[in-house]
Every structure is written in structure tokens, then in C-alpha cells.
Amino acid sequence: MTWLLSPLPTARIAWLRILAYAFVPVDLLLNRWMFAHAQVPGELYAPLRIGRAFALPTPGAWVTWFGWALIAGSLTCLALARRERVPAWAGFGVALGWLWWQVIAFSYGKVDHDRLGFLVLLLVLPTVGRASRRDVGASEAAGWAVRATALAVVATYTLSGLAKLRFGGLGWIDGATIVQAVIRRGTPLATPLLDHPWTLTAFQPVLLAVELFVAPLLLVRWRRPGVLTGLVVGFLLFHVMTFSMLSIIFLPHCVALLALLPFERLPFRGHQVRARMAA
Amino acid sequence: MPLALSARGRWARAGVTVAVGGLLLAGTFVGVDDDFPFGPMRQFSTRADPDGQARSTRVEAVDTGGRVLVVPDTATGLRRAEIEGQADRFVADPSLLAQVSRAHDRLRPDEPAYRTVRVVVALTRLRDSRPVGDPVDTVVASWTAP
């Protein structure tokens, strides 16, 4: 509990709000297939449990309007975040709207697994209250928000590892899962490796070990903050590599990963002004 | 002095953290995709047999001009993985593919309509994780406009 709630600078939250509310429109516009579901006849809609539980309406033409409303709502929050006052209800509105958008997107036969970290980030940002990039203080509320996001990011890795053990078993590590992925959707960079499949197979135990044992290191409070930054950059490079080989990028997850970085150290005009006034 | 939370605020946050963590763990061990956002992170989690077959699914269409096309995701609003995810439904009731053709009419009204839509599975044999020979296509579901 001390780790979960130990204070962190509130300025971090102010930066993360800008990052998160700027990313929501990017996410929607990069995934145009989500909008395209508006044109798919309702017969092909296969609602998820959460959609059935809340009796969410069958997607139709309104989905397009919903998407643009969500973009507008998030841009409004972005503008408010730059002025450093986002009402909690607006933040929760964007978070729940984005969740609903995912439920629509994933109700046609395929669920993506790169959304947990960013979903948690959106949900915790409104719990912190006022936050300014000028703040020099810390708060327990900010500490929990960042820790909750960090837990979701790490869980994405470790639970992926556990799912491999559940569905693939220990034999997963010497299977042909990555070979199959490259056959299905390898880029010109990856397909030559099919002639040397051991290179792809050898990567599997490494991947599993990183998911299960290296990812939790993101939760450690390192005495040298550079270690954490190095880990985050390492994981980001892994996702860039996956993209270059399989053209899959877990973008929302990568944004949530950024939340672990000490944004509060970025230069901000307000700091210099105050320093001058103090002098 | 860091800003402290009230006792209620602390317990609420600790409680939510534990509850969500518990749901995610439960989802990982006994859940399915349907349980989103708590389902298992099962991307690439199944083991492909190094001496088995690699599956690759695609949607093909024959348009009113008689051209045979590989249907891109953007033309129907359905991603390849979504077709795969609902493959059982298409196999059980191929007439459902008419809806794919309808989606194409709406998304690409200037293109010739699809008269035939079929789901094709390409199987590539593997030996010791190495692809051997050319992929073999099987049509698992097909619909033609009446």
C-alpha cells in the first residue's frame, strides 16, 4: 500500500493529460476500420459480454457520429488540460466513451489486447484533481494514478506470458508460433528469416522470459531514475521491432508505457518565470 | 509536504486496484475474449506445431465484371482476423457472406458489387518450422448472389 500510494509530482499528471487526450483522436483516426463498422450490417455484430450486460445498441450509422463526438470531446479535454483544469466528469466521459468505442470495435469477431494500459490511464487521470505543469509538489493521488497505469502496463506483459502458458503450455517456447505469424503477415524485413526458422523460434523463450520476468522491473523504484527510462526505451524498441517485422503496433499500450517517464522534468516556461521571481 | 489522501480515498484506491487485479487474473486463467476488458491476453498464445500446418485466411470476391479479387479489410469494414473469428458462423451459414457484400456496397459504392464472396484458408505445410511447398487453398465458405 505504501508503494501504491507513495506521492509523485502532480505536474506529471498535467503532462499525461495532454498526452492522453491528444492520443485519443490519433487512435481513432489511425484505426479507420473502427469507423467502418458503422457500415457493416448488424447481422455480423457479435456483441461482447459487456455490450450485452449494458444492453448497448447494435452499431449502425450512428457509430460515425459517436466517433467524431469522442474526438471532439477529447480535443476539448486537451484544450482544458493545457489550461490545467479538466473537470472530472469530462475526463470520465472521454474514458468511458473510449471504452465503449473499443467494445464496438471488438464486437465483430476479434478482440485486440493492447488497450488495457491506456484504458486505465484514461480512467485514473480524472481522479487526481487539479494538476499544473508548474506544480513542484507531489500528491498521493498522483502517485496512485501513475502506479495504477504502471500496474496495467506490466500486467499486459505478464498476463500475456501467463496466457501463453495457459493456451500453449511450456511447449510454446519451441513451437512455430512466430514462424506462423511471419507466414501470415511478415514484412519484407521478416520473411527472409523463414529460411532460418531457428532465429524466429529462438526468440520465443526470450519473449516469454521478458514478459514474465523483465516487465515487473518497470515497477521497481530505482535509485537511479535512468534505469527506468532505459527499461521503457527498451520496451518501446521491442514494439518498434514487432512493427517492422509483423506490421503490428500496440500503440495505446506504448502511450501508457510513456506514463512511467518523469515528464515533470521537462522544461516548462512557468518554472523559469518562478525561478526569476525567486531570484 | 506531499498532498495526502483521506482515509476513504486511500481505501477506495487500494480496493479498486485489488478488484481489477483480481478480475484480470481470473480472466487470464479462466476467461475468454468475450470478457473484454478482463479477458486473457491471448495474442500469439497458442502453440503452432513445427511439423503442422500454418493457416492464413483471406476473403476473395468475384465482382460483377468477373474479376477475382482478394478483398482488403478496408473494402468491407471487416478485418481479416474478424472474418477468422466468425469463420464458424460463415461455415455454418454461408449466406451470411451476403452481408459482407452489402457492407462493400455501402463502403465502396463506386466499385462493381461483389457477386461471389468466399472465405479461403491457405495451409502451408511446415517441417521443423520451415515452410515446405506452396500453400494449398481451401474454400471453407462461399456465397453467390442469387
Note the pLDDT of residue A183. 85
Query: By C-alpha distance, which of A130, A250, A246 is closest to A187?
Result: A246
User: What ipTM was assigned to the predicted interfaces of this complex?
Assistant: 0.90
Supply the pLDDT for residue A276. Answer: 55
Q: B30: closest CA among A125, A232, A167, A196?
A: A167
pLDDT in tens, B24-58: 999 999 999 999 999 999 988 988 888 988 888 88
Q: What integer pLDDT is reported at residue A72 of this predicted model?
A: 98
Say if A181 is an interface residue toward chain B (CB within 8 Å): yes
Query: Closest approach of chain B CAs to the CA of A108, in angstroms?
Result: 6
Q: What is chain B's Cα-based Rg?
A: 23
Q: Give the model confidence (pLDDT) of A77-103 as tens digits.
A: 999 999 888 999 999 999 999 999 999
Q: What angle do CA A12, A15, A17 make, to 5 degrees?
A: 110
End-to-end CA gap in chain A? 40
Read off φ and ψ for residue B55, nearest 5 degrees: -95, 140
**In the predicted model, is pLDDT for residue A106 greater than 80?**
yes
Residue bearing the bigger pLDDT, A217 or A184? A217
CA distance B5 to chain A (A): 6
Nearest-Cα residue of chain B relative to residue A163? B42
Among the partner-chain residues A10, A36, A195, the one whose CB lies closest to the CB of B77 is: A36
Q: Measure A107 CA to nearest chain B CA, in Å.
A: 9
pTM above 0.90, yes or no: yes
To the nearest whole Å, the CA of A200 is away from the closest chain B CA by 9
| Predicted local confidence at residue A12, as pLDDT | 95
DSSP code, position B114: E
For residue A90, what pLDDT is reported? 96
Nearest residue of chain A to residue B34 (CA atoms): A48
pLDDT exceeding 90 applies to what percent of chain A?
A: 75
| Mean per-residue pLDDT over chain A, rounded | 92
| B48:A177 CB<8 A | yes
d(CA B96, nearest CA chain A) in Å = 8
| B residues 80-119 closer than 8 Å to A (CB) | 81-86, 89, 96, 99-100, 102-103, 106-107
pLDDT tens track for B98-109: 999 999 999 999
Q: Between chains, do B14 and A194 touch, taking CB under 8 Å as contact?
A: no
Q: Give the dihedral sign, CA B19/A114/A210/B31.
A: positive
Average confidence (pLDDT) over B67-95: 90
CB A141 within 8 A of CB A7: no
Nearest to B68 by CA among B103, B115, B124, B104: B115
| A202 shares contact with chain B (CB less than 8 Å) | no
Task: From chain B, pick out residues whose CB is under 8 angstroms from the CB of A111.
Answer: 33, 36, 39
| A144 contacts on B by Cβ (under 8 Å) | 5, 13, 17
Question: Is A25 or A129 the better-scoring residue by pLDDT?
Answer: A25
pLDDT, position B54: 84
Nearest CA in chain B to A144: B13
pLDDT band per the 50, 70, 90 thresholds, residue A184: confident
CA separation for the pair A170, A235 (Å, rounded): 23
Q: What mean pLDDT is predicted for residues A116-128?
A: 97
**pLDDT for the residue numbered A275:** 54
Among A262, A216, A215, residue whose Cα is nearest residue A238? A215
pLDDT tens digit sequence for A141-176? 999 999 999 999 999 999 999 999 999 999 999 988
Residue A110's closest CA among B70, B87, B119?
B87
Dist. CA A211–CA B4, nearest whole Å:
34
- A209 confidence band (pLDDT: 50, 70, 90): very high
Q: CA A62, CA B74: separation in Å to the nearest integer? A: 19
| Contacts (Cβ under 8 Å, ≥6 apart) of A47 | A56, A58, A103, A107
Let me know: does B43 contact A184? Beta carbons within 8 Å. Answer: no
**Is B3 within 8 Å of A10 when comparing Cβ atoms?**
yes
